[in-house]
Structure 1
């Protein structure tokens, strides 16, 4: 394969084998294997390829994709050859997400896989020019549904067929129609064509949902949905089996650690691995005794495997340890937040720690962002990494600033109050003052 010249490797498009993205530690490739499940041999091969052709750092993204870092123009083609030789075929085209346990979860309303496959083929056949980061969710429900995943276009299984909506998660997306099974692909393609007509940068938020609904002849209010999906971390009972959700700390792992984890889990009975949202691996095949051994193995290798892991609410980039653009050690900062301000991490808010203003790990807004800038580590409240910080401190002062934020939260949070509620009612000036400390 031919890798594009570096001046064509721009931000704003999803990095892939054919169009890797330049980062501070070289080129980055993001991929999602087309197969719904991976064998142990596949993951061991990925670890070998990451070590051989990159810097060995592997990430699982918030949407359940793999990222290999530290590649070069010369090594990307060799990575592609290694994947092909191993039979690991990356998905291409528009990103269409389905629940990670589709087809094997007896509690799902319907298996989303056939609809997603048919829609993927229809989009490819239409040859439309669409936004590079366009995201579509086809959610058949189940224990690990995608209710909390934001998408440009959503198809959510309901009793009457599929609810088509645009621009949001399951609760916030604006309804367009409820489509019967035999109309779901044609109806969804009508919305996709409307997006294409708006231009190559159009996203779901740009669509006029009411006008689309009128075109379908049905203005559909959202049907009642259960609470948003469970976090994949920890043990899940899926029919008669138990599935273990494991996460690399903050979504990042070295290739050697991944290889050691996989070999250890296989010894405990693991038979299948599935990538999942929230930077997760879902592992199947354990007996009762093997499950306990698998949890111990994951913990020993530094992976999270319980749903109480506080760091699961933090998004971090590679940081100074892996990226030349980063201005501080994001992993160490995340550990400092867990130790000094763990009350922020109850899952009610997002915390983003970014080595630079590009905000690669969490492009969306976050309640609290710590961002590396020329002036130090900036504090951004309810914003993105690239937003102007409310305050900035030298890197060496960050641990004490985090402790002061934790002290403020512990002193003023009401009993039973979530971190989100506390932040919402607290004046930003109070948070900034705690961050800056005595002046």
Structure 2
């Protein structure tokens, strides 16, 4: 398969990024080594979750995270305990995925409202990639989205396949470098040529080298190589957050999330046992730091929600903290400059009504920004100079204002009071932030109003 170098627009500017933390390549953090994993099995049992919790306690510090893309992270490991964790996972029958990250909706193959089951496509692509042995960017992500209630429309990927209806049945819209709305459209592929088409795109990335990402590809040049039908922009899909109860066919699926994406092992174990007693039959990792629970009857939903609340899990899509991303913070990471969990609770109390999901808020213990690598509307970051305020940027960006850590609580209260007073009826947080001058936000943060 020959791919012209003209497929790149800015390959010289491609950003080289580190490998994702895995069992083979754990990441050093302030609280030890971190391992990220996604089980091969689409569904986990209560026994699996209890086993994971036990391994997290035995070999790490017991802190478990569910990431924004629905992966698990175990923290506080060491070079001696990572191999033992691997052995323990194998003994428990939990096999982590390896290779390129290929994401499918968490309920694919189950949701009767989806246009296509993405699982067989993902399996065929994994097999093709294993045979090809391309050298690709460590954080390359592919989304295969067949639609449904909990689609992956808002998940950013280097390569996307979105099922779309046509007069001849379902086809797949191929796009690169974004989510369903923002990715550059390439072609409309029928099922028969789907695998060849996406492998052509992956081969183009391999030609550009291991730093190449989907944003570096020229969609028009790819279309010419594919000899495929051009595709128009995909129709928008409603953004449905996994939190809360969802009617999927004839069953109700309950979406839970550990507060701020983090849970201690003993509470995860208690949750699994408690929900199993409520009738839960399986658990599925989902985007937005969520865990989907199947098997609950309508009569047991209230008991399941109560169990989740006891163990520090959110069970409603109006939980104010769901818009906040935090790292382990000073309570669990030596690199962090403040207690991010306490700050997140303070922010939810001071400005909970403003956290409507229209903006991202990031509380980062240090400039590495582990919990939210992308830009956020508002970031509070621990630095040598104190807690920095960053607007529409990443944790690694320079702050527009800084305060000592001891002054953070009053600063959060001031920001909340200022924004609540300024907000118009029915206005989203995004609209409020966009029309508020940065200088006004800085003044509120610093107490100079």
- 1:410 lines up with 2:420 in the alignment: yes
Q: Give how far 1:268 is off.
A: 0.5
2:106 partner SS: coil
Please tell me whether the aligned partners of residues 164 and 175 of structure 1 are also in contact (alpha carbons under 8 angstroms). yes
Q: Distance in 1 between matches of 2:232 and 2:192?
A: 21
Whole-angstrom CA distance in 2 between matches of 1:435 and 1:207 = 41
3-state SS of 2:418 partner: helix
Distance (whole Å) between structure 1 residues aligned to residue 220 and residue 322 of structure 2: 37
Kindly report which structure 2 residues correspond to 1:10-409, keeping only aligned pairs within 5 A, or say none: 12-160=18-166, 161-217=171-227, 218-227=229-238, 229-409=239-419
Q: TM-score, normalised by structure 1?
A: 0.96
Is this contact kept in 2: 1:175–1:213, CA < 8 A?
A: no
Instruction: Report deviation, 1:344.
Output: 3.2
CA drift of 1:222 comes to: 1.2
2:7 aligns with none
Aligned-residue RMSD, C-alpha: 1.1
Residue number in structure 1 paired with 2:13: none
Matches of 1:257 and 1:436 in 2, distance apart?
Answer: 38
- Tell me the number of residue pairs that the alignment of Structure 1 and Structure 2 aligns: 429
Gaps of 5+ in 1: 1-9
User: CA, structure 1 residues 11+190, in 2 after alignment: closer, same or farther (shift >3 Å)?
Assistant: closer
Match of 1:432 among 414, 439, 442: 442
Report deviation, 1:11.
Answer: 7.1
Moved over 4 A (4+): none
Give per-residue Cα distances to partners, 1:222-265, cap 9 Å, x unaligned: 132332x3100000001111010010000000000101111110
Q: Tell me if structure 2 keeps the 8 A contact 1:166–1:204.
A: yes
What is the alpha-carbon distance in structure 1 between the residues aligned to residue 151 and residue 187 of structure 2? 20
- Looking at structure 2, the residues matched to 395 and 418 of structure 1 have their Cα atoms a distance apart, in angstroms, of 29
| Structure 2 unaligned spans of 5+ | 1-15
The structural deviation recorded for 1:221 is 1.4
- In structure 2, what is the equivalent of residue 5 of structure 1? none
Instruction: State the match for 2:3 in structure 1.
Output: none
Q: Is the 8 A contact 2:44 2:283 kept in 1?
A: yes
Question: TM-score with structure 2 length normalisation?
Answer: 0.94
CA contact (8 A) 1:210 1:219 kept: no
Q: Specify the alignment match of 1:3 in structure 2.
A: none
Q: Which has the larger displacement, 115-124 or 88-97? A: 115-124
